[in-house]
Amino acid sequence: MSFFTVKHLDKTEPSITRHPDIHKFYLSSCQTKITNRTPTTEGWLNVLKLIKLDISDYDKSRILLGVLRNYGEIVVKIGDSDDIQKEYDIGRRLQHIKGYIKYICFFQCNDNFRNFPSPNSFTLCKGEGQQMKVILMPYFPLGSIAGFSWLNYSIQLFHSCLKHATLSMITAFFTLGIIHGDFHIGNVLLKKTNLKSISYHISALNFTSNIDTHGFRTWIMDFENSTMANLSSPYDTMITLNRFYSDLSRFFGFIQYKIQIINPRTIAPITRHIDLLLMNGTMINHNSLQYLLTLIDGIQFLPTPDSSYIH
């Protein structure tokens, strides 16, 4: 990764972002590691707002929204846990897999993220406190599959988003041996795209498929709980399959709880299919993956009093 110099921040003009009522600052750039020999200017980043405000003793990180010079709005994830470093390292390995978030950069500095009292009264990396790890990543204003308002969109778009996320997750497993560990619809972000379709190829399964986008792409994030597949013994293979299928089952299981307009009866065949693979200790193959995609096409919206959404 290239090394950059962190420069002084300047206030932005109100028209720079969608939040003209809040003071905003530019982060000129970032470097992989900030040390006492290369200190940052005090107040090098001031946040637009806190995305995650409440902090408890169990929280390992805090999520902020900022602005990066020559880039635009970004998400800043900060904490004092090695999980931050792990998340960035896993993200770097996944950067060539379609559908995984591309982190901007990672660095370290001295501060304490638990001492930040409010969005407008703190600065980062002042050179005081314990070592803190910081990841910068793109901001997705549409949010995640879990938080998106699907009522006025087609069921075909919903199907395609689920297929893209599923195939990205399975491609990472068979290409790099990476199991996400916390794969659910809240960790799959949405972004509009001009691409008509995206092609997926999993050589280990002799599987190739072009999936229509319907104008949206999915981006998987959050790798703090990721693990590597281990098939070196029957016991390790069993543990690996359990983690892999638990990820898939969690992804589809969350849908019926988080998205109220989804008919849960149309999710049940998918979770049964995944549970059967797990119970039999069978690795997913070309046929079972193709069947899973067919089952996704069977997911239905519930009838609503407002019939304005597109079938």
Average pLDDT over residues 113-120: 58
Residue 267, domain CATH = 1.10.510.10
Amino acid occupying residue 181: G
What gap in Å lies between CA 135 and CA 88, rounded to an integer? 7
Same domain, 43 and 95: yes
- Residue 310 belongs to some domain of the structure: no
Q: How confident is the model at residue 248 (pLDDT cuts 50, 70, 90)?
A: very high
List the domain range (segments joined by +) for residue 123. 14-138
161 and 291 belong to one structural domain: yes
Of residues 38, 18, 22, the one with CA closest to residue 30: 38
Residue 69 confidence (pLDDT): 60
Residue 124 sits in the same domain as residue 197 = no
Asked if 129 and 168 sit in the same domain, the reply is no
In tens, the pLDDT along 170-198 reads 999 999 999 999 999 999 999 999 999 99
Query: Which pLDDT score, from 0 to 100, does residue 70 have?
Result: 60
Task: Choose one of 106, 138, 170: the last residue of a domain.
Answer: 138
**Averaged confidence pLDDT in the chain:** 79
Give CA–CA dist 159/197, Å, rounded.
13
Instruction: Note whether 120 and 173 are same-domain residues.
Output: no
Greater model confidence, 13 or 258: 258
| Matching residue, tokens 């109220």 | 260
Query: Is the Cβ–Cβ distance between 28 and 69 less than 8 Å?
Result: yes
Asked whether residue 191 falls in the same domain as residue 61, the answer is no
**Burial grade of 285 (CB within 10 A; 0-12, 13-18, 19 or more):** middle
The yes-or-no verdict on residue 245 having pLDDT over 50 is yes
At 124-141, the pLDDT tens digits run 665 566 778 888 888 898
Domain boundary residue, one of 138, 166, 181: 138
Choose among 32, 25, 18: nearest CA to 142. 18
Q: Give the pLDDT band (50/70/90) at residue 33.
A: very low
Region of 301 (left: φ > 0; alpha: ψ -120 to 50; beta: rest) is: beta
In three-state form (DSSP H/G/I as H, E/B as E, the rest C), the secondary structure along the chain is CCCCCCCCCCECCHHHCCCCCCCCEEECCCCCCCCCCCCCCCCCCCCCEECCCCCCCCCCCEEEEEEECCCEEEEEEEECCHHHHHHHHHHHHCCCCCCECCCCEEEEEECCHHHCCCCCCCCCCCCCCCEEEEEEEECCCCCECCCCCCCCCCHHHHHHHHHHHHHHHHHHHHHHCEECCCCCHHHEEEEECCCCEEEEEEHHHCEEEEEECCCEEEEECCCCCCEECCCCCHHHHHHHHHHHHHHHHHHHHHHHHHCCCECHHHCHHHHHHHHHHHHCCCCCCHHHHHHHHHHHCCCCECCCCCCCCCC
Query: Per-residue pLDDT for 22 more than 60?
Result: no
Q: How far apart are CA 286 and CA 204, in angstroms?
A: 9
Token readout for 13 is 């003009």
10 token code pair: 């300047």
Q: Supply the pLDDT for residue 85.
A: 87
Residues 81 and 163 reside in one and the same domain: no
For residue 145, being part of any structural domain is answered with no
Q: How many CA atoms lie within 13 A of 218 on its CB side?
A: 27
pLDDT band, very low/low/confident/very high, at 40 (cuts 50, 70, 90):
very low
Same domain, 26 and 58: yes
Say what the pLDDT of residue 115 is.
Answer: 65
**Degrees, nearest 5: CA angle 68-69-70:** 115
Tokens 């879990």 sit on residue: 146
Q: What confidence tier does 7 reach under pLDDT thresholds 50, 70, 90?
A: very low
Domain membership flag for residue 107 = yes
Angle at 97 between CA 211 and CA 168, to 5 degrees: 45
Domain count, the chain: 2
More confident residue, 47 or 298: 298
**Are residues 123 and 228 both part of a single domain?**
no
| Res 48 pLDDT > 80 | no
Among 104, 138, 172, identify where a domain stops: 138
Establish if 6 belongs to a structural domain: no
96 and 211 in a single domain? The answer is: no
Predicted local distance difference test score (pLDDT) of residue 249: 95
- Amino acid at residue number 93: R
Do residues 198 and 133 share a domain? no
pLDDT interval class at 202 (50, 70, 90): very high
For residue 29, the domain's CATH number is 3.30.200.20
Measure CA of the first residue to CA of the last residue in the chain; give whole Å: 46
Same domain, 290 and 168: yes
Task: Dump pLDDT digits (tens) for 68-84.
Answer: 666 677 788 888 778 88
